[in-house]
Amino acid sequence: PEGELTEADLPADAFSKLVTHAGFGYGAFSGSIYNGNGDYTVTQVTVLIAPVAPTKGAEASVNGKEYNIKLTVQPLGKGALSMLIPSDNTLEYSWKVVKARGYKTR
């Protein structure tokens, strides 16, 4: 129906305009995200979080897990990311935003 918003994975060019600054502390993953798109509202990001293997330095372990973070970041706006990390006594993690969802606003 007309006027209904359709949420979908962002196309590659729109995804590349997301800028994320985040990290870990006190059992949580948190930070900020900037939506550099003028015509997409972001409604969710998927973050791959993996423990860093001590013997491989900064390389991520293959035991990573994807987490979906619901949010609303308007076009050309900034939003907050925050999520508790299930404790497994790992001291270091690597992370990467691997996917984002949203809808076209114009």
Radius of gyration of the chain (CA): 15
pTM score, two decimals? Answer: 0.83
User: 99: buried, middle or exposed (CB in 10 Å: 19+, 13-18, 0-12)?
Assistant: middle
| pLDDT of 93 | 81
Chain centroid offset of residue 106 CA: 23
Model pLDDT for residues 2-48, shown as the tens digit of each residue:
556 789 999 999 999 999 999 888 878 999 999 999 999 999 999 99
Query: Collapsing DSSP states into helix, strand and coil, what is residue 101?
Result: strand
DSSP string, 71-97: EEE-TT-EEEEEEEPPP-S---EEEEE
